[in-house]
Structure 1
Amino acid sequence: MNLLSHTPLLIIDVQKAFDDPKWGERNHPEAEANLKLLLAAWRASGRPVWFVQHLSRSESSLFHPDQPTCAFKEGLEPVEGEPVFRKTVNSSFIGTDLEPSLRRLGCEQLVIAGLTTNHCVETTTRMAGNLGFQPILVEDACATFGRRGPDGTYYPPEQIHEMTLVNLHEEFARIATTREVLGMV
């Protein structure tokens, strides 16, 4: 399967806020390097590159627009002409122009990567599938953090990441690696 020349790469919430140690243990330390490979391939092929940025209304949040941690991570910033969809909730489709932009482009597919797997990436991927798009989630260009369940049980990031992929697989998205996606470009 090859990607069409108008298939966008959607990079979700790759912001400095996620470098803060408060998040705890994280999986896929290579996610940003894989994102850079995808970004370079998309730009070289002239395919659309789109960014999503999470903005919090809380002034104390790492994602508040006045905080330096709200900025994109180094090497993963948009360049002139690459749209940024700014959101305040988990879904990149809510309160943004993402869906109409995809429809105007006439695309069926989109490639999704970013942070965090089980929050904004998962929510956006599910909605993309529900809206009739064919998302491809690049599993090793995403990452998440460990979390505690309601009973206090700790779930490591690898387990949360894998369960998110299981939940999305075949019903909402095609799951692929960076290498597989680069082979489609």
Structure 2
Amino acid sequence: MEITRNAALVVVDVQKGFDESEFWGPRDNPAADGNIAALITAWQDTGRPVVFVRHDSDKPGSPLRGGSEGNGFKEYVEERRGKGSGPELLVTKSVNSAFYGTPDLHEWLKAAGIHQVVLVGIQTNMCVETTARMGGNLGYDVLVALDATHTFDLTGPNGWRLTADELAKASAVSLHGGGFAQVVTTAELIGAARS
């Protein structure tokens, strides 16, 4: 695996509101937070760009609504912001894709000559997957660190219910098998970034 010198790490919606288990239900991958923290550190240590994405929900009952405690980044993310030697960007959004936020992520990446993006964050099958699909459609070389994401159990039509783990696997298969992104591990990315 090759990680370019200016590959951007895009940290999607790692916010306190996602810790409200009574709202979201069961989650998968308890190791996600540690892996996200390790990737931010690796990117900052190597002077690569880091993009922090925050979901400002406009839904009144959402734990992620703007101005609420849950809207803020988790502590391990907040304490790392501004600590790297590379470029940093904050994108805010109210939809699933980080490419539909403010400021315009696509324009920022293009202006910086960035062609490779690495995605981590919450939720695997929602904002991470949507951002990965759009990134692939826009022509970026997209990598998703699956073990640095997590999601929650979900019920769909006809009472169909999938566990968080099943949803994460379905996202990985769709993204990787569909050619939108390469699904990789945190260890692979850190090894490539530091080599």
TM-score range, shorter chain: over 0.9
How many angstroms apart in 1 are the aligned matches of 2:42 and 2:50?
10
Partner of 2:162: 155
Matched, 1:172 2:194: no
Q: Report deviation, 1:152.
A: 1.1
Q: Report deviation, 1:63.
A: 1.4
Q: Which amino acid aligns with 2:99?
A: F
Higher helix share: 2
Contact 2:64 2:71 (8 Å CA) reproduced:
yes
For structure 2, the residue ranges without an aligned partner over 5 or more in a row are none
Matches within 5 A, 1:37-116: 37-77=38-78, 79-80=81-82, 82-96=88-102, 97-116=104-123
Percent identity at matched positions?
Answer: 40
Q: Report deviation, 1:174.
A: 0.5
- With structure 1 as the length reference, what TM-score do the two structures score? 0.96
Q: Which aligned runs of 4 or more in structure 1 are off by greater than 4 angstroms? A: none
How many angstroms apart in 2 are the aligned matches of 1:55 and 1:28?
24
Q: Report deviation, 1:148.
A: 1.1
Partner of 1:29: 30
Q: Which amino acid aligns with 1:53?
A: R
Bigger shift: 27-36 or 80-89?
Answer: 80-89
How many angstroms apart in 1 are the aligned matches of 2:63 and 2:162?
24
> SS of 1:33's equivalent?
helix
Partner of 1:124: 131
How many angstroms apart in 1 are the aligned matches of 2:190 and 2:42?
7
> SS of 1:93's equivalent?
helix
The alignment yields a C-alpha RMSD, in angstroms, of: 1.2
Q: Which amino acid aligns with 1:177?
A: T
